[in-house]
Amino acid sequence: MIKRAYEAGADTLPSEVFYFPSQAQSNIYNLTYVESKRPLACSPGNLSEVDKCDVIVAYYRPVRPFITVADPYPNKHSCAIHRFLSNGHSLNAVVKHLDFVYLPGASDIVCTNALFDSSTNEYVIGIGFVKDREKGYLNIYGSTSEEELAECCLSFSELSAMPLHLTHTYYLSPSTGKLQWAFILSCGNPLKEETPPSPGHFDSAFKPPVRVFAQLCDTTTPKEPKNNAVPDSDRLCSTSSSSTEPKTTRRTSSESINTIYGELSVTSAANLFPELAHLPETTILYMDFVIRSTVTPMIRLAAFGAQDGWFAVYETDMNQPAVLRQFMFSHDSAITHVKLFNPDADQCDFNANLTCKREHGSEKSGSQRIDLLVCSAFESAVVYTNILEANTLSLENQIILPQSADFDHVNCASVGDYDFDGQAEIVLGTFGQCLLFYHWETTAKTKVGAEQTHSAGEYRLIAQKRLIAPVHCLLPPLDLAGDGLCSLVVLSSRGLHIYRHSVEFVLDLISDRLSQLLG
């Protein structure tokens, strides 16, 4: 780990304060985060829990011919959890390496995603990997402790196609009527030639581009067997439980793998996520989901970007469930990233997907505007503005991000208020080893209704930050230390980078704005 000094005379954007070199390979799907429920060490009596995040990086490490005791990476597969602590003046980091069970030695980790299940107080992580380039798997792990997460396997599912992007969203549980998480996995080309399915099997020869892994008791019917069953001799680790906790997801030491969570059939997945039934037969490279709980009925927005340049947004009534509207468009190159966001900085954090609670509760009663950011491999990144009110994805509501195609193709993006001006900035990560920061500049305001106005303007490139390697992935703005100050987390081919404002800069900014208010 290298701790960097803050740049003298830094502008209003965050600067790199941590760099964790990587001695292993990674890709655009190997970075995720999870909400941490650890009490702050500086909190009085350690009784205060705050919303903070831990960063998880998965990577592949080649086997070394000689391994010493001092080698911190003894295994081929590894996930590193990065925790950050603040004492009010400085930020310190702690890195812990986890080696997950049910990960064969000759396999590559392709994708990962994590969440905190507030209904069971468990950390949950999904890991997609390929063994010998012939077999693919998705493992789901869960535990009330991050330290024991690698030892508690909940689901072990075999895949017939290459796993790609893994994310999670929520659905209304048919059994409880409450929101329940589900992992959504996009898959690519088949890993090997498959034998035709047996007659009468519930799954047809059609292999959907996106698959769902969720709670089986919500979806399994007597005619649908559980796939990939593991013998009862392979037990889950023991977890403490309370009689007051929900029985639908709480496990006991007598329950075996794949009895709680697993892959849903095509029919069950389409019943809970009808938007998936509308996807074309193509390779989905990236997905984004937003839950709008402040509207009636509750709405789920889903965005998909494909390898052939196709992308779409679906608006789904979660109570039915049924697709209400769908918008489609296409570019001339592969879609590398899609992002649904509200340009109002007070409401753009619902994309963070920290937990079910934060994802739903962060959308306030103000602006309901939704924009869509689309990044392409060989074209400029664009924003489609106010797609729900415009009721379209077209050239009419398209805004091009200038110079976004000048630094090789764009791999990833992040949206958040990184300069504390009340407007969300767009950050693009490029293969050309550069971070591009875009700011919205208003040119005119148009009155729409009694209380709403729409601003006409454009995005302007305000800063470029060079890195030592191509940028693989960006996370949304995250409070890593529990001090309310969000950071920009960047994964490059050379390691993990943390961008953050200095405490002195923030204090000076607060002092200046208080002076303006009181003066």
- Find the mean pLDDT for residues 319-331: 96
Per residue, the 3-state secondary structure of 36-72, as one string, reads ECCCCCCCHHHCCCCCEEEEEEEEECCCCCCCCCCCC
From its phi and psi, is residue 280 left (phi > 0), alpha (psi between -120 and 50) or beta?
beta
pLDDT digit string (tens) for 97-127? 888 998 887 788 999 999 999 888 999 999 9
Is the pLDDT at 196 greater than 60, yes or no? no
User: Residue 54's pLDDT band (boundaries 50, 70, 90)?
Assistant: very high
Is the pLDDT at 158 greater than 60, yes or no? yes
pLDDT digit string (tens) for 430-482? 999 999 999 999 886 655 554 555 567 899 999 999 999 999 999 999 999 98
Residues, the chain: 519
- Cis peptide, bond prior to residue 297, ω within 30 of zero: yes
Is the pLDDT at 173 greater than 70, yes or no? yes
User: Is residue 485 a contact partner of residue 499, using CB atoms and an 8 Å limit?
Assistant: no
User: Residue 473: how many CA atoms within 13 Å on its side-chain side?
Assistant: 23
**How confident is the model at residue 288, as a pLDDT?**
98
Label residue 284 exposed, middle or buried (CB < 10 Å: 0-12, 13-18, 19+). Answer: buried
User: Is residue 376 a contact partner of residue 410, using CB atoms and an 8 Å limit?
Assistant: yes
Instruction: Give the single-character DSSP code of 54.
Output: E
**How confident is the model at residue 142, as a pLDDT?**
95
Is the pLDDT at 215 greater than 50, yes or no? yes
**Which one, of 201, 193, 171, 174, lies nearest residue 183 by Cα?**
171
- Find the mean pLDDT for residues 415-434: 93
User: Is residue 291 a contact partner of residue 300, using CB atoms and an 8 Å limit?
Assistant: yes
d(CA 168, CA 158): 19
d(CA 111, CA 164): 6
Is the pLDDT at 258 greater than 80, yes or no? no
**How confident is the model at residue 455, as a pLDDT?**
65
Count CB atoms within 10 A of the CB of residue 342. 23
d(CA 234, CA 227): 16
> Where is average pLDDT lowest: 237-241, 265-269, 297-301, 375-379?
237-241
User: Residue 194's pLDDT band (boundaries 50, 70, 90)?
Assistant: low
**How confident is the model at residue 314, as a pLDDT?**
98
Cα dihedral 174→186→124→251 (10° resolution): 50
> Where is average pLDDT lowest: 328-332, 353-357, 468-472, 511-515?
353-357
User: Is residue 64 a contact partner of residue 72, using CB atoms and an 8 Å limit?
Assistant: no
Label residue 132 exposed, middle or buried (CB < 10 Å: 0-12, 13-18, 19+). Answer: exposed
Is the pLDDT at 46 greater than 60, yes or no? no
Instruction: Give the single-character DSSP code of 464.
Output: E
**Which one, of 462, 489, 465, lies nearest residue 477 by Cα?**
489
479 three-state secondary structure: strand
**How confident is the model at residue 205, as a pLDDT?**
52
Q: Who has greater pLDDT, 314 or 22? A: 314
- Find the mean pLDDT for residues 147-152: 91
d(CA 438, CA 424): 9
pLDDT digit string (tens) for 362-377? 444 456 799 999 999 9
Could you tell me where the beta strands, DSSP code E, fall in 31-133?
Answer: 31-36, 52-60, 77-86, 91-98, 107-117, 122-131
Q: Who has greater pLDDT, 236 or 388? A: 388
Label residue 44 exposed, middle or buried (CB < 10 Å: 0-12, 13-18, 19+). Answer: exposed
User: Residue 476: how many CA atoms within 13 Å on its side-chain side?
Assistant: 23
**How confident is the model at residue 245, as a pLDDT?**
36
- At position 365, the amino acid (one-letter code) is S
Tell me the pTM.
Answer: 0.85
Element (H, E) at 506: helix 503-518
